[in-house]
Structures are given as structure tokens and as C-alpha cells.
Amino acid sequence: MVFSGGFKDFFNFNFSYVSKRLLFTYILKYFSSSFIEEFVIRGFILGIFLLNFTKTRAGIFKSVALSGLIFGLMHIINLWTIEGQSIKGVLNQVYATTFFGVMYGATYLKTRSILTLGILDFISNFFQ
């Protein structure tokens, strides 16, 4: 949303054309996928990196950066799973989600809350 000007589109969107069933389906889809991503990436992968790298500033940075990179790279699957995606579009997603992943990793270190990250991830996915 930040990269695409999604707020402008959101405020101009006519919600009367969206059925409640479709809205519920999208909420459920993005809510569940957001929390699964956060449990796997921040809860598991970032946790493994933090355990295996030194507890220095450089080790923590490496852990957050690598988990963010994995988060970004896993979005390359959109090339095969979302119809009509171009390589350029998917690479833009990978780029953006890598940096979101680093931001989410830093947020996790500060808050220690998967719930907070799941909500942030849901909001960014849903409104894009």
C-alpha cells in the first residue's frame, strides 16, 4: 500500500459492490496467511538465526536481515500461483516484502509479539 499509493485507492473504493461473503473470504484468507507467515518466519526462522548467530549487534542484524530476505524470497512463488503476474511485478513484491520482513523482524525483537506482527502483516496484505 505504501509503495502503490493504496490509501488513495482505498478511500475512493466503493464498498457497496463487494458482497459480505467475498469480504469475509478475503479477511479469512489474509488473516490466516499473515499469521502463518509470522509464526514461520519470525517465530521459527528468526528464532533459529538468533540462536545460531552471536548475541552481538552484528549477529542480531544478520539474523533479522536473513529472515527478512527469506520472507521476501518466499513471495517469488506468486509468479506461479497468482494469474497474470509478471516477472517485474513479482520482483517488486520480493523487494518490498524483503524490507517489510526486516522491519517486522526489528519490530518482533522490540515487542516479542507475534500477534502484533500478524496484525501488521494482515493490514498490509488486506489493503494492498
Which residue range(s) make up the domain with 97? 19-127
Q: Is residue 52 part of a domain?
A: yes
Q: Percentage of residues in the chain with pLDDT exceeding 90?
A: 61
Q: Is residue 74 part of a domain?
A: yes
Structure confidence by residue, pLDDT tens digits, 19-51: 888 888 888 988 999 999 999 999 999 999 999
Q: What is the pTM of this model?
A: 0.80
One-letter identity of residue 84: G
Q: Is residue 4 part of a domain?
A: no
Q: Is residue 6 part of a domain?
A: no
Q: Is residue 64 part of a domain?
A: yes
Q: Is residue 2 part of a domain?
A: no
Q: Is residue 95 part of a domain?
A: yes
